[in-house]
Amino acid sequence: MSIWTALNQRLVNRAEALGQKARLIKLPFFDGEPLYDVAVFFWKSMVDGAVSTRASAIAFNFILAIFPAIIFLFTLIPYIPIDNFQQQLFDLLQSILPKNAFAAIQETIIEILMIQRGNWLSFGFLAAFIFATNGIVSVIVAFNGTIHAIETRSWINQRFVALILVVILTLLMTISIALITVSQTIMNYMVDNGYLQKNLTYYLLFGGKWLVICGLIFFAYAFLFYLAPARKTKFRFISAGGTLATILTIITTIAFSYYINNFGKYNALYGSIGTLIVVMLSFYFNAFILLIGFELNVSIWHSIRNNSDTVFEE
């Protein structure tokens, strides 16, 4: 037996041993399914499921939706009767967005936040509603495009579900922004009046706003994974895919922002269009993560169905 044959046999044996161990591992939210079985279906869906193409379609539709949505929301903000609300929202956007992206839209944001324009409200609402609904429909189509069979809905049902999801996601975003700004106002008031010192307690409370953002991301994924697929009754509301997608979103956002702020030279290479490239990449990464989480949920469901069929045949 040659050295290469022996080495190959050793690798095969090691892979089989790892596979046997993986069959004994059962993670939370996997509905008792072995990690190995889920991983096999997940790998197949990622390789053969045209995930990159589906993510590109989702990103494109949401890029179309984001601009009218921003117009509507920001033209609504000057009418909110909360002291210093506009400045706090401005600071929040500055802390979240990469520096290059924020610098390109800073003047526009200031103008929209501070000046009331009633004639833009109706246009912004209608355009945002149409494009946001189209974006959610693209998510539904991408979900139903998995290689693991998922039955589809009619056009009317897709639009109805998309409308519900648009309302839910809008409410989540509104509640999150309100909680963040109100909590910051309360903290500033307590510090100014001596009720709270800038110690560990203050910074723990300050970090609470990021927990709110993480909670928003998690529940947004939970609602999308539960309501968007046609076979929604087969998926948990609190799912493994939602947890994975939330973790990946946080890691990717931090890493991407760090890279853009410290190493990215898009503006130097492409000029002002570099900001658009950053925004498009951000949408694509998040759409890709969305599909990763969904494919994990579908792989768990497919593993359950496959193992059930095997037991029935035996």
pLDDT at residue 68, rounded to an integer:
72
pLDDT confidence band for 10 (50 / 70 / 90): low
Task: For tokens 């117009």, name the residue.
Answer: 71
Is 179 inside a domain boundary?
yes
pLDDT single digits (tens) 268-292:
555 566 667 777 888 899 899 998 9
* Average of per-residue pLDDT across 15-38: 67
d(CA 125, CA 68): 7
Biggest CA-to-CA distance, the chain: 82
Judge contact between 221 and 244, C-beta under 8 A. Answer: no
Task: For tokens 């994974």, name the residue.
Answer: 225
pLDDT confidence band for 192 (50 / 70 / 90): confident
pLDDT single digits (tens) 31-80:
677 777 777 778 887 877 788 888 888 888 888 777 777 666 666 766 66
Is 299 inside a domain boundary?
yes
Tokens of residue 117, six digits: 């324009």
Is 156 inside a domain boundary?
yes
Who wins on pLDDT, 18 or 56?
A: 56
Is 159 inside a domain boundary?
yes
Judge contact between 260 and 312, C-beta under 8 A. Answer: no
Domain count, the chain: 1
Is 172 inside a domain boundary?
yes
Return the closest-CA partner of residue 145 out of 302, 313, 298. 298
pLDDT single digits (tens) 197-213:
777 777 777 777 778 87
For the ranges 33-47, 106-120, 175-189, 226-240, the lowest mean pLDDT is seen at 106-120
pLDDT > 70 in the chain, percent: 63
Judge contact between 166 and 85, C-beta under 8 A. Answer: no
Judge contact between 203 and 212, C-beta under 8 A. Answer: no
Is 11 inside a domain boundary?
no
Range of the domain at 237: 51-305
* Three-state secondary-structure class, residue 1: coil
Judge contact between 241 and 296, C-beta under 8 A. Answer: yes
Is 312 inside a domain boundary?
no
This prediction's pTM: 0.72
DSSP characters for 177-241? HHHHHHHHHHHHHHHHTTSS-SSHHHHHHHHHHHHHHHHHHHHHHHHHHHHSSTTGGGS-SS-HH
* Average of per-residue pLDDT across 181-201: 73
CA dihedral 144, 293, 218, 260 (to 10 degrees): -110
Tokens of residue 274, six digits: 């570099």
Tokens of residue 26, six digits: 């059962």
CA dihedral 170, 175, 178, 183 (to 10 degrees): -150
Is the pLDDT reported for residue 241 higher than 50?
yes
Is the pLDDT reported for residue 311 higher than 50?
no
The end-to-end CA distance of the chain, in Å, is 39
d(CA 45, CA 196): 52
* Average of per-residue pLDDT across 8-24: 62
Let me know how long the chain is.
314
pLDDT single digits (tens) 92-131:
777 766 676 677 667 766 766 666 565 666 666 777 778 7
pLDDT confidence band for 247 (50 / 70 / 90): very high
Return the closest-CA partner of residue 57 out of 132, 139, 162. 139
Who wins on pLDDT, 235 or 174?
A: 174
Is 223 inside a domain boundary?
yes
